[in-house]
Amino acid sequence: MEKNHPFISYTMKHYSEGKIAQNAKEFRDWAETRRSVRHFSDKHVPIEVMEELIMTGSSAPSAAHKQPWTFCLISNKELKAKLRELAEEEEYRSYNGRMSEEWIKDLEPLGTDWHKEFIDVAPWIVIIMKRAYEVDAEGNKLNNYYVSESVGLAAGFFLMAVHNAGLVALTHTPSPMNFISKALNRPENERPYLLIPVGFPADNAVVPNLSRKLKDRVIEYYL
């Protein structure tokens, strides 16, 4: 072991085989109840809750522990309205010519269109930025590795934290997303990754009746 990089012992609770199986089943059953929600209430969510959810996201593994993400936490009404306007402009163009017929058809069951009311209505918008590289105090560029994979994991952890808290979110990718960097005045080394409204579902919220792939289509066994 390298002297300059100390290690600490890692222990965790020991469960019986039965308890492990039960944990796995219960967690899966609970995870299966997560849905992407597109109809939000404007009900308040405290900033401290959002900070906890984000820090859960930031606990994700990352390549070489570079943690190549920034979470922008937005509640400012004017900024949300601006983001909605800009997202809708891009989405309008996407739905009216930029997306392929196949893509439009794939989206049909979700009932989505260019309207993005949720950006205005949800109490919080979290924009996850991926950091392509870091810049040190002298202005030198420092590499990050497997940035998309790492930020994807952070986003996944964040979404599960939202679900666990009893809130809902939507993984949204208004395309292209360059307008976000400008609107939020983000530095050159960051690129928008996901726009995620977070809050409570609207009273009349509905979600598409989707089914998920079954085990035989998910797992290939090599035993």
Ligand X SMILES: Cc1cc2nc3c(=O)[nH]c(=O)nc-3n(C[C@H](O)[C@H](O)[C@H](O)COP(=O)(O)O)c2cc1C
Binding interface with ligand X (CB under 6 A): 35-36, 38, 110, 112, 170-173, 207, 210
Residue closer to ligand X (CB basis): 28 or 65: 28
Residue closer to ligand X (CB basis): 76 or 148: 148
Contacts of 30 (CB under 8 A, 6+ apart): 163
Residue closer to ligand X (CB basis): 26 or 113: 113
Minimum CB separation of residue 204 from ligand X in Å reads 17
Closest CA to 182 of 68, 90, 48, 111: 90
CB atoms within 10 A of CB 176: 12
Minimum CB separation of residue 88 from ligand X in Å reads 12
Classify residue 94 by burial, with Cβ atoms within 10 Å: 0-12, 13-18, 19+: middle
Q: Which residue has its beta carbon closest to ligand X?
A: 36
- Determine the Cα angle at 212 with ends 122 and 166, to 5°: 35
Minimum CB separation of residue 171 from ligand X in Å reads 4
Taking the C-alpha atoms of residue 180 and residue 11, their distance in angstroms, rounded to an integer, is 42
Minimum CB separation of residue 156 from ligand X in Å reads 9
Residue owning tokens 């308890």 = 19
Residue closer to ligand X (CB basis): 80 or 172: 172
Minimum CB separation of residue 155 from ligand X in Å reads 8
Residue closer to ligand X (CB basis): 35 or 66: 35
Taking the C-alpha atoms of residue 131 and residue 63, their distance in angstroms, rounded to an integer, is 12
